[in-house]
């Protein structure tokens, strides 16, 4: 086929519908259906021995770390049978599958044809089993040797006018060891272009917390949950995305803690829990979770926090010293007076109105908090993926500072991370904005001069690709085209590349929307046995609470041709840097211990890494904020109060706010199935959740097929063929699933200061679908 007539592979899921059925949303999460669902998946993908064997080792000391989320394991008593959840089991089924993609598969299916499948079907084809190459102008991937693949990539990198014409993405599963050598290679090559999934995830958290408490990480441990008096959970859906958190919440409740949920949707996993690991749960007894459920408007969180602060301030005026922690404020914070000047003038009624929460409910929340100081605030994407995400995180900190709730037992800040090692990646210097001190350390230990200027993050990489400033895109995991915003724009950007390379476990859409040439390098997954020089190896990861622990895969890899990520980096480094390198890559390729020795020298907190990582349960990284010391750059060991502004949304009469959410049957862009059991959505993903009043007002009906539009920057973005589902969601608020909704997220709509796409608030218009819809299966 000539280049001109070659079909362009599709960047989005096909506009076809399944047979949607809708049932009552659930009021509790987990229990027997969850266990049943996870076993069904595991058996189907892996067979009767392989899957259950692996489940048994998941999250056990000496076993492997579940790749599904970053929620920590208990320090002491781990359940001997099941320290995993339904979604961890599904993640395992997905990667431990025995299906694999042979060269025949690629010979029979063109890239364009594969791109016509939906994400779920693409992924379910199986594990990638050998390196694959798509030559310029070709329609099909073909096998390539590892040697040729490394040299092709190395030669292309060396042909660039500047190292800054390449960008090196990381998704959040890569181990500490692989991350460390990866960033070392990229910096010796000469660029800080290291975008990562964090840029679309908790970047707003990292930016805000680093500025105000001196470290961009959580200040709590799991034990703090058990000691807490109140836990606030904002913009997070733990029942689906960190289900093992429910066990901690259940234990906290038993110890008397109260839970306040803040979310536009009534998520099952915030309302109740039947613990599948306990007898009462198996018998079907539900623990009620949220004591108070504040159904905030999308992005109404800032107004709600301010209303709470004002109510608490008024209470403090009535009973001085009883509500605020004056001693803590005096000793550990700055800027209280100026901050309070603003709070005094807040109009609570107006704030409640903006937040969309009735005054009496906000008042109840304030009452719950009034005399308590052991308060934990948890948050995730509902807070960070907003234009004012950085400020909202700072407002969360303001509230905890007033109450003296940071740096003491039973209290603190708890951003709940997503990918299982996303926090470790950043600790290992996967970052487009490395600190001078970190770079100086690399120079001191290795002797080369790392690039000093900041590199491109995710959004800036996409824009630079679109402008033709980037020629090579290299991805250590992930699914860039489906995870990023503004799908049409991003696809145009990726198609302008000269070379796109993916180190991957499974096939995904990013292999299909490619540069002039494309390469896929297959790698081991977390559960795979990693044998180097005849010895079983282990890697290590850092969880959401700063615990570093080992992870050792146990399953035989599906193909003998897989290399681990570290070996891939080391071989690529040798093929690219050749004689000009000053690093002994062979030493790293053959020994994780050697890498850990070097990490111990370069990164603080990792002294005696090799010894401590072998301790059962691993070790905690130092975290001064957890001890109540705030090592902020500007404020001399104190945490500042921050004066923030309310967001100001002006919507046209026919506009709605849209948030994008995960279903219960996916891990990011990996779609396990079409069920969103807790929300009562079955066999469909192309749905839009709407308030029944809005449906009526706009003249729509339940089940109507609609197209969704966004007009940011005067560009029309369209997502076609979605089915209206009436749902308990505030008026003028809507929700669609990620990644189907991503085409509507404008590339220029980002969080201030963190550049995180605003995936949780996009303004849309909704119109009846024009044309005929196709129905599949
Ligand atoms: N099974 C499974 N586990 C996962 C993942 C997965 O896809 N599947 N992904 C992993 C990753 S990378 C991450 S980052 C985490 C994500 O974990 P979450 O952040 O829990 O994931 P989301 O589905 O994006 O949903 C965020 C929640 O925010 C709510 N929300 C939306 N807008 C707003 C708002 O304006 N204000 C408030 N208060 N709430 C809002 C939504 O209703 C939803 O309940 O999970 C990780 N774990
Ligand atoms: N609209 C919208 N967009 C979003 C979000 C949202 O809430 N709404 N959430 C954002 C967030 S929080 C995140 S973190 C990003 C996620 O963005 P990514 O991290 O880029 O996406 P994933 O879907 O997690 O990546 C899945 C792919 O990773 C590969 N993979 C899996 N395991 C391994 C491994 O061990 N090694 C290697 N090398 N590859 C592996 C597989 O090939 C799989 O297809 O998406 C962001 N995009
Ligand atoms: Mo994430």
What secondary structure, in 3-state letters, does 603-653 show? Answer: CCCCCCHHHHCCCCCCEECCCHHHHCCCCCCCCCCCEECCCCCCCCCCCCC
The protein residue whose alpha carbon is closest to atom 36 in ligand 2 is: 477
Residue 201 CA: which ligand 1 atom is closest?
14
Tens-digit pLDDT profile for residues 535-555: 899 999 999 999 999 999 999
CB of residue 222 inside a 6 A radius of ligand 1: no
Lateral strand order in the sheet of 287-288: 29-30, 272-274, 287-288
- Which band of pLDDT confidence, cut at 50, 70 and 90, is reported for residue 84? low
pLDDT at position 59 over 80: no
DSSP string computed for 316-369 = HHHSTTTSS-HHHHHHHEE-HHHHHHHHHT--HHHHHHHHT--HHHHHHHHHHH
Report the candidate in 342, 338, 343 with the shortest Cα–Cα distance to residue 316: 343
Q: Which residues pair with 293 in a beta bridge?
A: 261
Cα 306 from Cα 665, distance rounded (Å): 35
Tens-digit pLDDT profile for residues 341-364: 999 999 999 999 999 999 999 999
How many degrees, rounded to 5, is the angle at CA 350 between CA 344 and CA 352? 100
pLDDT at residue 634 in the model: 87
pLDDT at residue 777 in the model: 44
Query: What are the extents of the domains in the chain?
Result: 204-415, 655-768
Report the candidate in 88, 540, 48 with the shortest Cα–Cα distance to residue 277: 88
CB of residue 381 inside a 6 A radius of ligand 2: yes
Tens-digit pLDDT profile for residues 178-215: 999 999 999 999 999 999 999 999 999 999 999 999 99
The protein residue whose alpha carbon is closest to atom 15 in ligand 1 is: 418
Mean of pLDDT values over 20-49? 78
pLDDT at residue 55 in the model: 75
DSSP string computed for 393-454 = HHHHHHHHHHTT-SSSTT-EEEE---STTHHHHHHTT--SS--HHHHHHHHHHH-S----S-
| Extended strands (E) in 484-604 | 499-504, 517-522, 531-532, 535-536, 539-542, 547-551
Mean of pLDDT values over 315-344? 97
With the most atoms of ligand 2 within 8 angstroms of its CB, the residue from 173, 298, 477, 749 to mutate is 477
pLDDT at position 660 over 50: yes
Cβ 362 vs Cβ 307: under 8 Å: yes
Q: How far is CA 305 from CA 82, 97, 102, in A?
A: 37, 45, 54
pLDDT at residue 58 in the model: 74
CB of residue 173 inside a 6 A radius of ligand 2: yes
SS3 284: coil
Q: Which residue has the higher pLDDT, 88 or 140?
A: 140
pLDDT at position 2 over 60: no
Cβ 625 vs Cβ 213: under 8 Å: yes
pLDDT at position 1 over 50: no
CA dihedral 424, 428, 432, 438 (to 10 degrees): 140
Cα–ligand 3 centroid distance for 381 (angstroms): 8
CB of residue 264 inside a 6 A radius of ligand 1: yes
Tens-digit pLDDT profile for residues 434-454: 999 999 999 999 999 999 999
Q: Which residues pair with 101 in a beta bridge?
A: 128
Q: What CATH number labels 655-768?
A: 2.40.40.20
State the greatest distance between any 2 C-alpha atoms of the chain, in Å, as a whole number: 80
With the most atoms of ligand 1 within 8 angstroms of its CB, the residue from 235, 271, 688 to mutate is 235
734, containing H or E segment: strand 733-737
Mean of pLDDT values over 275-289? 77
CB of residue 527 inside a 6 A radius of ligand 2: no
pLDDT at residue 675 in the model: 95
Where is average pLDDT lowest: 35-44, 526-535, 766-775? 35-44
Cα 15 from Cα 574, distance rounded (Å): 44
pLDDT at residue 79 in the model: 60
Cα–ligand 3 centroid distance for 197 (angstroms): 6
- Which band of pLDDT confidence, cut at 50, 70 and 90, is reported for residue 290? very high
Cβ 208 vs Cβ 397: under 8 Å: yes
Cα–ligand 2 centroid distance for 407 (angstroms): 32
Mean of pLDDT values over 279-302? 88
Cβ 557 vs Cβ 529: under 8 Å: yes
Cα 125 from Cα 141, distance rounded (Å): 15
pLDDT at residue 42 in the model: 72
CB of residue 298 inside a 6 A radius of ligand 1: yes
Nearest ligand for residue 381 CA: 1
Tens-digit pLDDT profile for residues 700-748: 999 999 999 999 999 999 999 999 999 999 999 999 999 999 999 999 9
- Which band of pLDDT confidence, cut at 50, 70 and 90, is reported for residue 380? very high
Q: Does domain 204-415 have CATH number 3.40.228.10?
A: yes
Mean pLDDT (the chain) is: 94
The protein residue whose alpha carbon is closest to atom 39 in ligand 1 is: 235
Q: In whole angstroms, what separates CA 506 from the centre of its chain? A: 18
CB of residue 660 inside a 6 A radius of ligand 2: yes
Question: And the tokens for 688?
Answer: 């839009």
Q: Which residues pair with 377 in a beta bridge?
A: 232, 413
Cα 140 from Cα 145, distance rounded (Å): 16
CA dihedral 740, 746, 752, 757 (to 10 degrees): 20
Give me the percent of the chain exceeding a pLDDT of 90.
85
CB of residue 198 inside a 6 A radius of ligand 1: no
User: Whole-model pTM?
Assistant: 0.96
Give me the percent of the chain exceeding a pLDDT of 70.
96
């Amino acid at each position: 086929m000539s280049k001109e007539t070659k079909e362009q592979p599709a960047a989005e899921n096909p506009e076809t519908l399944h047979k949607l059925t809708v049932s009552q949303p659930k009021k509790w999460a987990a229990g027997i259906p969850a266990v049943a669902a996870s076993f069904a998946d595991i058996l189907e993908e892996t067979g009767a021995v392989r899957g259950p064997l692996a489940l048994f080792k998941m999250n056990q000391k000496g076993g492997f770390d579940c790749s599904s989320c970053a929620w920590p394991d208990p320090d002491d008593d781990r359940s001997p049978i099941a320290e995993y959840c339904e979604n961890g089991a599904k993640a395992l089924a997905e990667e431990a599958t025995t299906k694999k993609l042979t060269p025949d598969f690629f010979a029979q299916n063109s890239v364009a044809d594969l791109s016509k499948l939906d994400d779920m079907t693409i992924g379910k084809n199986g594990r990638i089993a050998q390196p694959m190459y798509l030559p310029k102008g070709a329609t099909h991937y073909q096998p390539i040797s590892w040697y040729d693949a490394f040299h092709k990539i190395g030669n292309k990198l060396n042909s660039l006018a500047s190292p800054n014409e390449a960008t090196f993405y990381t998704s959040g599963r890569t181990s500490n060891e692989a991350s460390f050598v990866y960033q070392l290679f990229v910096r010796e090559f000469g660029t800080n272009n290291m975008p990562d999934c964090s840029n679309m995830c908790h970047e707003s958290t990292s930016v805000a917390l680093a500025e105000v408490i001196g470290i961009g990480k959580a200040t709590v441990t799991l034990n703090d949950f058990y000691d807490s008096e109140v836990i606030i959970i904002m913009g997070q859906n733990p029942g689906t995305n960190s289900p093992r958190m429910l066990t901690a919440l259940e234990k906290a409740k038993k110890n008397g803690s109260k839970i306040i949920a803040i979310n536009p949707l009534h998520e099952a996993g915030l309302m109740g829990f039947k613990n599948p690991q306990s007898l009462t749960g198996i018998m079907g007894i539900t623990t009620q979770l949220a004591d108070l459920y504040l159904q905030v408007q999308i992005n109404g969180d800032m107004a709600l926090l301010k209303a709470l602060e004002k109510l608490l301030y008024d209470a403090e005026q009535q009973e001085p010293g009883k509500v605020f922690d004056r001693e803590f404020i005096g000793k550990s914070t700055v800027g209280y007076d100026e901050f309070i000047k603003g709070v005094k003038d807040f109009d609570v009624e107006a704030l409640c109105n903006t937040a969309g929460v009735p005054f009496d409910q906000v008042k109840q929340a304030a009452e719950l908090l009034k005399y308590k100081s052991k308060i934990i605030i948890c948050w995730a994407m509902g807070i960070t993926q907003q234009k004012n995400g950085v400020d909202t995180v700072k407002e969360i900190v303001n509230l905890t500072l007033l109450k003296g709730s940071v740096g003491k037992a039973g209290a603190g800040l708890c951003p709940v991370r997503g990918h299982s090692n996303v926090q470790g990646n950043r600790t290992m210097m996967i970052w487009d904005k490395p600190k001078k001190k970190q770079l100086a350390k690399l120079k001191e230990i290795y002797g080369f001069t790392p690039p000093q200027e900041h590199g491109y993050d995710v959004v800036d990489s996409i824009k630079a690709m679109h402008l033709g400033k980037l020629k090579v895109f290299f991805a250590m995991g992930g699914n860039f085209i489906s995870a990023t915003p503004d799908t049409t724009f991003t696809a145009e950007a990726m198609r302008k590349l000269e070379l796109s390379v993916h180190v991957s476990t499974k096939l995904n859409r990013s292999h299909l929307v490619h540069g002039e040439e494309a390469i896929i390098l297959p790698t081991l997954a977390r559960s795979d046995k990693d044998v180097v020089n005849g010895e079983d190896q282990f890697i290590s990861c850092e969880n959401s609470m700063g615990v570093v622990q080992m992870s050792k895969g146990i399953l035989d890899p599906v193909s003998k041709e897989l290399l681990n990520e570290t070996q891939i980096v080391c071989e690529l480094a040798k093929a690219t840097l050749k004689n000009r390198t000053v690093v002994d890559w062979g030493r790293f390729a053959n020994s994780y211990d050697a890498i850990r020795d070097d990490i111990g020298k370069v990164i603080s907190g990792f002294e005696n890494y090799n010894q401590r990582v072998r301790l059962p349960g691993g070790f905690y990284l130092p975290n001064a904020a957890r001890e109540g010391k705030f090592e902020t750059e500007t404020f001399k060991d104190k945490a500042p109060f921050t004066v923030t502004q309310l967001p100001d949304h002006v919507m046209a009469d026919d506009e709605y706010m849209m948030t994008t959410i995960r279903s219960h049957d996916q891990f990011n862009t990996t779609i396990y199935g079409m069920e969103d059991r807790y929300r009562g959505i079955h066999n469909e993903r192309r749905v839009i959740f709407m308030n029944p009043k809005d449906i009526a007002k706009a003249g729509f009906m339940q089940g109507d097929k609609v197209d969704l539009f966004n007009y940011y920057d005067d560009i029309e973005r369209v997502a076609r063929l979605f089915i209206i589902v009436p749902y308990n969601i505030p008026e003028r608020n809507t929700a669609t699933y990620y990644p189907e909704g991503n085409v509507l997220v404008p590339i220029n709509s980002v969080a201030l200061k963190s550049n995180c796409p605003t995936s949780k608030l996009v303004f849309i218009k909704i119109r009846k679908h024009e044309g005929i819809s196709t129905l599949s299966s």
